[in-house]
Amino acid sequence: MIKITRTFPPHQMTSEKVKELTEEYLKTKKNVWNQDYIKKALLTMSHDKCIFCECKLGEESKYIEVEHFHPKSLYPYEVVDWFNLLPICKRCNGLKRDHDTKHEPIINPTIDEPRQHLFIKNYRFFSKDEIGKRTVRILQLNDSERLMLPRFKIGNQVSETLDILVKWIEKTNGTQAIDDQNEMICKVHNLLNSCQSESEYSATCSYALFSDENYYDIKKHMVNKGIWDSDLEELEKKCLEHCLISDDVLKQCSV
């Protein structure tokens, strides 16, 4: 889970349209939110991901469902309020159901900063406060089969790439040809890209990268060789902004 910036509502959602759909829902209880333009705008906002678990939507068995953060059963007047709608996967939707978020708040990633409430350690989400604890419990964010396995897989890929790069530096005794250096820049660039907010499970990827000591050795080597460029610096900065690694682990690793 990472912070997502709420985009503007789709142009079709005029105040007249919202009023019309809300009235229709109040009378008929029809799925008035189930509009292509709403789903498309929500997917654009979240980079095609579930707002809570960060799985990619639009793939087999992971189609977008429109989530009412304040449940429509309790707050029917918010049934098509753009600021109440979130893109979500079937798994998360089935777990959150009609949980009353006004009385027992959970993290809303378009409003709250998830890193203030959660951190990741050993690929599990841990809470920093009551809202974080409730969010993990209700959304089962440490679901071993559906979430932990993909996180392990991604984390392992990151660690393996870092391992190869460190061995490569050791093998060449730090004296690499320009082609090799370019390849190293490219690989680190790709690693940092996989941690950006557009990528699936970006919070996990960032955790895997920044909690691995090899990353800091590689960076140190690249800085010494003058091949750690401004692009890499910018990509790293963006990852650190949404990284859910705990401050103590981050400090420990970056020394």
Binding site for Zn ion (CB under 5 A): 50, 52-53, 89, 92
Q: Looking at beta carbons only, is 139 or 243 nearer to Zn ion?
A: 139
In the complex, least distance from residue 208 CB atom to Zn ion, rounded to whole angstroms? 19
Q: Looking at beta carbons only, is 33 or 215 nearer to Zn ion?
A: 33
In the complex, least distance from residue 185 CB atom to Zn ion, rounded to whole angstroms? 34
Q: Looking at beta carbons only, is 134 or 221 nearer to Zn ion?
A: 134
With contact defined as beta carbons under 8 Å apart, do 33 and 1 qualify? no
Q: Looking at beta carbons only, is 25 or 52 nearer to Zn ion?
A: 52
In the complex, least distance from residue 136 CB atom to Zn ion, rounded to whole angstroms? 13
Q: Looking at beta carbons only, is 169 or 203 nearer to Zn ion?
A: 203
In the complex, least distance from residue 232 CB atom to Zn ion, rounded to whole angstroms? 31
In the complex, least distance from residue 89 CB atom to Zn ion, rounded to whole angstroms? 3
CA distance to 29, 69, 90, 93, 193, per residue, from 3 (Å): 32, 15, 20, 19, 17
User: What tokens appear for 158 in the block?
Assistant: 């990151």
Q: Looking at beta carbons only, is 201 or 215 nearer to Zn ion?
A: 201
In the complex, least distance from residue 54 CB atom to Zn ion, rounded to whole angstroms? 7
